[in-house]
Amino acid sequence: MPMWNIVADENMPLVEELFSTLGSEQGRNNNQIKRLAGRHISRKDLADADILLVRSITSVNRQLLEETSVKFVGSATIGTDHVDTKYLAANDIKFSSAPGCNAQGVAEYVLTSIAYWAELRDRDLSEVTVGIIGAGNVGSRVIKVLERLGIRCLVNDPPLEDSGDARHFVSLDRIQQCDVVTCHVPFTRSGQYATYHLVDEEFLESMPNNSLLINSARGAVLDNKAAYRVKQAGKNIDYILDVWEGEPEVNVELMAKTLIATPHIAGYSQEGKIRGTYQLYQAVNQWLGLENTIPLNTLLPQAPKWHWSGLLSGLYQSLKPYYDIQADDKRMRQVKTDIRNKFDHLRKTYPQRLEFLDTL
């Protein structure tokens, strides 16, 4: 008899290595692990499941979990907008996500994006100001990387500011005036700090000419239709977009107007995915009162690291051997038709990418 019935997204690495013998130190047998495509996990699949491990494409809610035996849900992601946490709490289902797991990958994506834009548009990064919206795990890391290179950053994060965080924050109006704006907020539809369409037509119109907007948070943080309209009306602004409103749908007209377009892979470093699964392994162990017998460092690849030189000129060319963001853009643009159905495939077959910045 298996000890635990586990259903896991097919795109999550190391689930077998970490979960199949979980509990075996207590004399229990192998657990049963069923791998499924995240977008198609159904209530039927979970009838006998104890543990459900998902990524961001599985909507976890009453519709999925009612009348199943699931007692633990883990999401190997930073974002949790696909999970109805209130429903889980009300039904005594333990929930855990993986805060910060792929923050480094996103920070490296943003750094490379800015370096690419600066090279293409002949901008001197020592004279550029970057506005960061959201200074949590990802935003803070972006700030650290940019400031270490001497790039000026301004930060907007009203929830942190209101909580008494001592860092210096600026208003959203001030962020709009920056040369580069990058979004690192969770997706929230309601409440005092809702981020739905936080970057709207008015915001984009207020940005200076020759500026850059990066969205690697969640698609609907940027009003995609407004972004298209603003560009179509002739505004001189560049977009680098990793996330899309209504994924796996992609607004192809907007995509045609982007400098870089990628299929929600900003955080897709190998290490980020491994950390995501590992954080769930830790959470399940804690839930069951078990020790973490497998150390994380035995699972992570040893990647070659980029040398911080402090030199801003030629930055993109020095980063490119470590992360080629143009290749990611090309993969997405090669999809000429029916991108909705090919979006998940692009993500599933994403080439291995390793983190190149050493400890910050």
Q: Are 328 and 315 in contact (CB under 8 A)?
A: no
247 is catalytic: yes
Least distance from ligand DEZ to the Cβ atom of residue 297, Å: 21
Indicate whether 9 belongs to the interface with ligand NAD (CB under 6 A): no
Q: Please state, as a whole number, how many other Cβ atoms lie within 10 Å of the Cβ of residue 306.
A: 17
The binding track of 91-130 with respect to ligand NAD, each residue x by CB under 6 A or -, is ---------x-xx--x------------------------
Residues 188-217 that bind ligand NAD (CB under 6 A): 193, 195, 198, 216-217
Q: Which is nearer to ligand DEZ, 179 or 344 (CB)?
A: 344
Q: Which is nearer to ligand DEZ, 56 or 182 (CB)?
A: 56
What is the DSSP annotation of 171-234? -HHHHTTSSEEEE-----SSSTT--TTSB-HHHHHHSPTTEEEEE-S-GGGB-HHHHHHHHHTT
Binding residues: 56, 77, 157, 242, 267-268
Among 5, 31, 68, 77, binds ligand DEZ (CB under 6 A): 77
The sign of the CA dihedral 171, 176, 179, 185 is: positive
Binding partner of 156, given ligand NAD, ligand DEZ, none, CB within 5-8 angstroms per partner class = ligand NAD
Binding partner of 226, given ligand NAD, ligand DEZ, none, CB within 5-8 angstroms per partner class = none
**Of 218, 275, 347, 353, which residue is the catalytic one?**
218
Outline where the chain has alpha helix (H): 15-19, 62-65, 85-90, 103-120, 137-148, 158-162, 172-175, 201-206, 224-232, 252-255, 270-288, 315-319, 325-333, 339-348
Question: What is the H or E stretch that residue 152 is in?
Answer: strand 152-156
Indicate whether 239 belongs to the interface with ligand NAD (CB under 6 A): no
Indicate whether 215 belongs to the interface with ligand DEZ (CB under 6 A): no
**CB-neighbour burial class of residue 291 (10 A; exposed 0-12, middle 13-18, buried 19+):** exposed
Residues 257-286 that bind ligand DEZ (CB under 6 A): 264, 267-268
Rounded to whole angstroms, the Cα distance separating 275 from 272 reads 5
Q: Are strands 51-54 and 72-75 parallel, antiparallel or unpaired?
A: parallel
Among 6, 7, 22, 55, binds ligand DEZ (CB under 6 A): 55
264 is catalytic: yes
Indicate whether 135 belongs to the interface with ligand NAD (CB under 6 A): yes
| DSSP single-letter state for residue 238 | E
Provide φ and ψ at 63, rounded to 5°.
-55, -35
Indicate whether 281 belongs to the interface with ligand NAD (CB under 6 A): no
Indicate whether 273 belongs to the interface with ligand NAD (CB under 6 A): no
Q: Which is nearer to ligand NAD, 3 or 185 (CB)?
A: 185
Tell me which residues are annotated as active site.
Answer: 218, 247, 264
Enumerate binding residues for ligand NAD (CB under 6 A).
Answer: 78-79, 100, 102-103, 106, 133-139, 156-160, 184-187, 193, 195, 198, 216-218, 242-243, 264, 266-267
